Amino acid sequence: MSLLERLQDPRPLIAAELRPPRADMSSTDSMDTWIDMYHSIRKLARSDTVVFLTDNAVGQAEEENLQHLTTNLADEVDPSLVVPFLTCKHSLDYCLMYAARAASHGIEALTVLGGDRSVGAPRCLPHAYELRNAVRQRVPSLTLGGWANPHGDAGEQVDYLLSEDIAAEFFLTQIVSHHGIGSVERFMSEAAQRNLKLPGVFGVFYYRSANTGTLARLGEFFPVPAEGIAADFAAGLSAAEICARSIRALQQLGAKNIYVSNLGFRRVDQRYRRILGALEEI
């Protein structure tokens, strides 16, 4: 089953978003982290899910996801279950070569994003859709994903997804939470009214604590309902239960495909199973 077929399948999907090791890690720490990630990806793949791998998330330089995937997971994981991110925060030549390499190793889909403008390297192109169009011309076999922000103006976001230039067959969304579900409801209502056909994958975050410093730093990259998260932990909810509440709120609105961010490097599959267990109890 291709990624698009899985996204369009009536079964719910709880996908995982993982981050490669930081580029400034020692070689020993990096290898240990990748070994843990390989085990996690294998176990997640057996759980009928999809794994998204970031590219320089939150402006921090990460090791290239593709090199390690193709070297260490070849023939062990169905390529349709692994979807790397590619941002504009590289040279255009690198991005086009990356896409060609991904396709040559059996990767079927890429999520192509702009990347945070405020940190790190400049973008090679101003907008992600421009890079997707360039990739489409170079490697037409790849399924490409875009991006939407349910926290923004619903009409503008749906305009973007309906644009003829978007060059995408699916989209991921910014992180959302059960504490701000109203914005998601407005976005989904607008999408339904305008007959948006692209399948979406809505993002939720695995908050590990209510540490105010951590939540403030995260708030620099996406809207964080800090007071609500703190109240959840104060009420005795676990990290898995809080995450599950966001997933269930999305499902109740009709969002079938969801990805979980911030599952870490080690024991990812254990956290994933705890979230699914908490979801069953809601």
Lowest mean pLDDT across 110-124, 177-191, 241-255, 266-280:
110-124
267 compared with 159, residue with greater pLDDT: 159
pLDDT, residue 19, reads 83
Task: Give pLDDT tens digits for 61-95.
Answer: 777 778 777 776 656 778 778 999 999 999 999 99
104, pLDDT greater than 70: yes
pLDDT, residue 37, reads 77
pLDDT, residue 210, reads 96
189, pLDDT greater than 90: yes
Percentage of the chain surpassing pLDDT 70? Answer: 96
pLDDT, residue 73, reads 63
* Structural domain boundaries enclosing 268: 3-281
Q: What is the largest CA-CA distance in the chain?
A: 52
141 compared with 22, residue with greater pLDDT: 141
Highest mean pLDDT, choosing among 40-44, 113-117, 134-138: 134-138
pLDDT, residue 50, reads 93
pLDDT, residue 59, reads 58
Burial class of 192 by CB neighbour count within 10 A (0 to 12, 13 to 18, 19+)? exposed
pLDDT, residue 242, reads 98
CA neighbours closer than 13 Å in the CB half-sphere of residue 193? 10
Q: Which residues contact 168 (CB under 8 A, 6 or more apart)?
A: 112, 129, 132, 144, 145, 146, 161, 198
CA distance 280 to 227: 26
CA distance 48 to 32: 25
Tell me the mean pLDDT in the region 174-192.
Answer: 97
Q: How confident is the model at residue 182 (pLDDT cuts 50, 70, 90)?
A: very high
- CATH number, domain with residue 245: 3.20.20.220
Tell me the mean pLDDT in the region 240-244.
Answer: 98
Instruction: Tally the domains of the chain.
Output: 1
Q: Which residues contact 148 (CB under 8 A, 6 or more apart)?
A: 157, 160, 161, 171, 172, 173, 174, 187, 200
Percentage of the chain surpassing pLDDT 90? Answer: 72
Encode the chain in three state secondary structure. CCHHHHHHCCCCEEEEEECCCECCCCHHHHHHHHHHHHHHHHHHHCCCCCEEECCCHHHCCECCHHHHHHHHCCCCCCHHHEEEEEECCCCHHHHHHHHHHHHHCCCCEEEEECCCCCCCCCCCCCCHHHHHHHHHHHCCCCEEEEEECCCCCHHHHHHHHHCCCCCCCEEEEEECCHHHHHHHHHHHHHHHHCCCCCCEEEEEECCCCCCHHHHHHHCCCCCCCHHHHHHHHHCCCCHHHHHHHHHHHHHHHCCCEEEEECCCCCCHHHHHHHHHHHHHHC
Q: How confident is the model at residue 168 (pLDDT cuts 50, 70, 90)?
A: very high
What backbone phi and psi angles, to 5 degrees, belong to 259?
A: -120, 150
pLDDT, residue 246, reads 98
